[in-house]
């Protein structure tokens, strides 16, 4: 986001955005390429951003969090994504867990888990998708059977961000098969103490390689009844209720990655010479950059518009889907365009644009594919 737009942000929003950009540039970006090659979990980097409050942004201050607004949060996610989209994704998932516990938890649950989430002592994971059910969240098969003062959970969860590193997992499970969507509940699982939480595998991915994604097996996983999050049977409704915020946050990941790609392309076009002058003077290159900058600007502004609607509590499923759809499609084009401007060098991993291309591709898939977003938008017409 260009600095000219700071006039539309309040003082706190500018402060948070600039603070996130600073720590992203100084702590996250220098290790991004190496972590990408090794698929390394950013443990030290997470400790640094936790110390500044970025792991508890959506957690109230009385529980150790920052108590930030959703707009503040999206500005921070965008800043981290410009350094490393995978890092932005994993802290988004973690913050979403904190937000959900803060919204639905009992006082005892909040006292138990929120300070650890805010400090990074526990990393949060959402266990929603299953091997046969991704966008079709009503088709889940993981089930939880009540046995005395415990639920016994069995099932398989797939594509679980942070799942292999989690200190708290929110599991959507069927607790009443006959009730359909009203028979799903959210359960809080502590992977550090329950042997029934099994990391079956950590997936090898095209991009965002340091943002670990795992397949989790829940095998006779015993969850105390007081670990039920929210009302029994309200899990599906509660998950669907937070989808808009999740989609706007992914729009922020996409715009942040695209911003980094555009900045890299402009820098390279100014430095690279052909026919006796920088290639940015070539009309073809200049026009491509102009298109990229325009689409990025539109995506950023609409992402913030949707974030303001979320912050105000206005129903905005359509706007959230529009933000994610446009931003993710835009970002893939901008990152690809940045690589093209770099020519052959863009295809080498010596330059960051090839990583941006790999990292940004998944923004069209997770938190609902582009086709799912189009369905939501079309139904609103």
C-alpha–C-alpha distance, residues 8 and 112, integer Å: 38
Active site residue 367: yes
Contact 175, 169 (CB under 8 A): no
Q: What is the largest CA-CA distance in the chain?
A: 80
Contact 174, 141 (CB under 8 A): yes
CA torsion 293-252-320-101 (nearest 10°) is -170
C-alpha–C-alpha distance, residues 212 and 198, integer Å: 15
C-alpha–C-alpha distance, residues 67 and 353, integer Å: 34
C-alpha–C-alpha distance, residues 369 and 350, integer Å: 31
Q: H or E element: which one contains 111? A: helix 107-119
3 state DSSP class of 96: helix
Contact 296, 259 (CB under 8 A): yes
Q: Is the dihedral of CA 350, 354, 360, 366 positive or negative?
A: negative
Parallel/antiparallel/unpaired status of strands 168-174 and 228-229:
unpaired
Contact 358, 364 (CB under 8 A): no
Cβ neighbours of 312 (radius 10 Å): 10
**Phi, psi at 363, each rounded to 5°:** -65, -15
3 state DSSP class of 39: coil
Q: Would you please indicate which residues are annotated as catalytic (active-site) residues? A: 367
């Amino acid at each position: 986001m260009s600095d000219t737009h700071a006039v539309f942000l309040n003082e706190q929003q500018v402060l948070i955005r600039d603070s996130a950009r600073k720590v992203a540039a100084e702590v996250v970006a220098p290790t991004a390429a190496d972590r990408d090659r090794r698929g390394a979990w950013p443990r030290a980097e997470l400790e640094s951003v936790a110390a500044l409050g970025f792991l508890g942004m959506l957690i109230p201050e009385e529980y150790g969090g920052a108590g930030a607004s959703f707009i503040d949060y999206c500005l921070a996610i965008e800043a981290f994504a410009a350094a490393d989209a995978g890092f932005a994704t994993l802290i988004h998932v973690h913050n979403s867990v904190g937000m959900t516990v803060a919204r639905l938890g009992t006082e005892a649950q909040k006292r138990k888990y929120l300070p650890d989430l805010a400090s990074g002592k526990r990393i949060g994971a959402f266990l929603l998708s299953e091997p046969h059910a991704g966008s079709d969240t009503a088709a889940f098969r993981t089930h939880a059977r009540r046995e005395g003062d415990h639920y016994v959970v069995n099932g398989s969860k797939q594509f679980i961000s942070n799942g292999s590193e989690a200190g708290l997992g929110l599991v959507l499970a069927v607790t009443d098969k006959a009730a359909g969507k009203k028979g799903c509940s959210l359960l809080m699982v502590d992977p550090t103490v329950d042997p029934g939480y099994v990391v079956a595998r950590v997936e090898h991915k095209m991009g965002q390689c340091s943002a670990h994604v795992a397949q989790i097996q829940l095998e006779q996983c015993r969850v105390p009844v007081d670990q039920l999050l929210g009302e029994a049977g309200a899990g599906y409704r509660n998950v669907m209720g937070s989808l808009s915020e999740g989609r706007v946050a992914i729009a922020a990941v996409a715009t942040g990655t695209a911003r980094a790609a555009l900045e890299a392309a402009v820098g390279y076009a100014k430095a690279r010479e052909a026919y006796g002058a920088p290639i940015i003077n070539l009309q073809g290159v200049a026009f491509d950059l102009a298109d990229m900058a325009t689409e990025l600007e539109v995506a950023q502004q609409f992402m913030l518009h949707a974030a303001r609607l979320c912050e105000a509590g206005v129903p905005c499923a359509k706007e959230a889907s529009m933000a994610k759809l446009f931003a993710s499609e835009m970002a893939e084009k901008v990152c690809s365009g940045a690589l093209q401007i770099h020519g052959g060098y863009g295809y080498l991993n010596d330059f960051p644009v090839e990583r941006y291309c790999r990292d940004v591709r998944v923004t069209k898939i997770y938190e609902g594919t582009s086709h799912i977003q189009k369905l939501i938008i079309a139904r609103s017409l």
